[in-house]
Amino acid sequence: MRIGRWFSSPPAPPPPPQERNDNRKNEGAAVAEYWTQYNVTAHERFASAADSLAYLRWRNDQYFGYSELMPVHSQDGKVVLDFGCGPGHDLVGFATSSKPARLIGVDVSPSSLAQARERLALHPCLCEIIQLDANSTKLPFDDASIDYIHSSGVLHHLPDLLPFVREFRRILKPNGTARIIPKFCASGGWCSSWSAT
């Protein structure tokens, strides 16, 4: 018999700012504030690496085909960026299924980043966690410095998508890859996924 911890879906938070009819001024700050109050783990804390991995497996199982669409393996020796990493689900995946040369998580939510740091400390890896300015579209990376951009459930929260896509293109190495799933669907599936090199 497997004795383990059971997880259930966190209670649904209210709609994020861009799904309400809020004033678009300061929308970046409103998005950051929202994701600081709410997050995808409902601020779950993990007592052990096993606990953290069990939660990751449970979360991946919630979305049909997620692990295949957004793989975290085969990034040995690469510079990997998780854009909008939240509390660190997929960073844990990359840290445990690949051996990246650099693993970087960026987000605008200080509370989620604090939880990502705490969770990653349970796993044997080096991971850089960087807080972005919610009102800036610039990413703090050199041109052609990233091999792989992974972004899950983030792009539809951006007030303006195009500047970020341009930044992805700027920071990706010439043969780099971006794998992006913009939005979770209520059905437990995905609205779309994009992959580009």
Ligand X SMILES: C[S@@+](CC[C@H](N)C(=O)[O-])C[C@H]1O[C@@H](n2cnc3c(N)ncnc32)[C@H](O)[C@@H]1O
- Residues contributing to the site for ligand X (CB under 6 A): 31, 35, 40, 83-86, 89, 106-109, 112, 132, 134, 152-154, 157-158
Residue with tokens 């997050």: 39
What CA–CA distances, in Å, run from 66 to 45, 58, 188? 23, 11, 10
Which residue's CB is nearer to ligand X, number 87 or number 176?
A: 87
Q: Which is nearer to ligand X, 37 or 77 (CB)?
A: 37
Nearer to ligand X, 73 or 77 (CB): 73
* β-bridge partners, 103: 80
- For residue 3, the minimal CB distance to ligand X (Å) is 26
- CB 148 to ligand X: min, Å: 15
46-58 b/e (C-beta count within 10 Å ≥ 16 → b): beebebbbbbbee
Q: Closer CB to ligand X, residue 46 or residue 83?
A: 83
Could you tell me the smallest distance in angstroms from the CB atom of residue 1 to ligand X?
A: 30
Note the Cα 64 to chain centre separation in Å.
Answer: 18
CB of 67 closer than 8 Å to CB of 47? no
The count of other CB atoms within 10 Å of the CB of residue 105 is: 30
- The CA distance from 177 to 30, in Å, is 30
Among the listed residues 189, 176, 157, the one whose alpha carbon sits nearest the alpha carbon of residue 69: 189
Of the pair 85, 127, the CB lying nearest ligand X is at 85
